[in-house]
Structures are given as structure tokens and as C-alpha cells.
Amino acid sequence: MTGKYLPGFTALVALALAAVFSAVPLSSASAHPHVWIDMTTALQFDDKGRVAAIEISWTFDEFYSAFAVEDAQKKNGTYDEALLAGLTSVNLENLAEYNYFLEVIADGAPVKTGEARDGKSTWDDTAGRLTLAFTVPLAEPRLATAASPVKFRVYDPSYYISIDYVKDDPIRLTGGPHDGCTLTTEVPNAENVWTSLPETAFTSATSQLGAYFATTASLTCAPRT
């Protein structure tokens, strides 16, 4: 990975991805989350009613949040903007190599995405939790139809990080016209996943263990008149 390492998420990404891209296979002993993220997303539509970008917001668990800002000094109940901006910049730079843990599918094939924008880290002093928000544009806007829905999911392949949607208002539709669009989600049952995982989930050096636990969102839109 490139860039100067800062405390927090940069180090976390390195740990999470090491299990996937190293030559050492995952083992059942290590195949469980060490960090938890509460997530919301939003689909941004352009003026033609096509999906143009996906907004992602991650709020880290209290333990990791404390680690991320360890030794930093608060001012007026929050942390220095320069520190938070630096974390955001380096984190997104390093995540770019892994497409920000984002997978988008349309017409049955992966959709190319661009460089994340509008990145921002914020601190909630009451909850003691750090949030990282950013927007990932699609290389080309995609029209979702009943015959060709736009699907997406966000997950850490190694499952070092558990990324789960919040219960209230987890996915929004924003921007251009999206009347007649329907969003459905498929949420795996974690207990059932564990009992049905193939052996390759633990023995393959390129295992995508996190994918088995990821929520899949599917968007379809009625034809516009």
C-alpha cells in the first residue's frame, strides 16, 4: 500500500486484507470479525434516472474508534480537523486498490467504479465513535430495470471487519428522478452461513469469506414515460 501510515483505519485495512492477499490461507480459528462497522448507503441518481454513484458511511465500533484516535488531543469535544482530514485522505488512498470494499453488478457483470470523492471523517463524542463517509462514482451511470437490476454489496473479503447495515433507514435513494424504483435486500443468516460454508472458504488463499455474510441490495426501476 502507498502513502504515509496514520493511526487507525489505514493499519486496520492492512490487517484485514493481509489474510486475503497473502499466501497464507484463512483458518477457521481466525475467520471471525475483530472490528464491527455500522453502515448506511445511498444510491445517487443522475438527471436521467440512472444510478451514478453510491454514498457509503461507516461508523466504527467504540473499541476501534478509540484506537484510531489514540494519543490525539480533543478540542471542544472533538478532534482536530487536520487529523481527521489526514485519516480520510490516506484511508481512501489505500482503500482504492481494493475498490473501497464495494462490489457493483449490472447485466450480470461487475461495474467499474471511479475514485472516491467527498471523503470525510467525523467524531461523535457522545457515542465515542468514529465515522468515515465517502462517495464512489460509477465509471458510467447505469439504468436499473426489471430485466437488469443494479446490485451492490459492501464487505471485507477476509471478514476481519464485519460490515452490517443499521436497522433504521439503511439505504436511501437520492438525486435525480427515481420514482418507480424499488430496492430489495437479501440479508444472509449468519448461523446458516457458518454451517454451510464450503471447505475452500477456509483453505483457499483467495477466499472471499466476507462475501458469504454480505447483504446484497438490488435495485429495479419501472420504465420512464
Looking at residue 174, what is its pLDDT?
97
137 in a structural domain = yes
In whole angstroms, what is the distance from residue 79 CA to residue 195 CA? 43
167 in a structural domain = yes
190 in a structural domain = yes
2 in a structural domain = no
Q: Is 59 helix (H, G, I), strand (E, B) or coil?
A: strand
Q: Is 165 helix (H, G, I), strand (E, B) or coil?
A: strand
pTM: 0.85
The total number of structural domains that make up the chain: 1
User: pLDDT tens-digit profile of 33-66?
Assistant: 888 999 999 999 999 999 999 999 999 999 988 8
4 in a structural domain = no
Supply the range of the domain harboring residue 64.
9-221
104 in a structural domain = yes
The gap from C-alpha 38 to its chain's centroid, in whole angstroms, comes to: 10
In whole angstroms, what is the distance from residue 85 CA to residue 82 CA? 5
- Looking up cell 429495479 gives 220
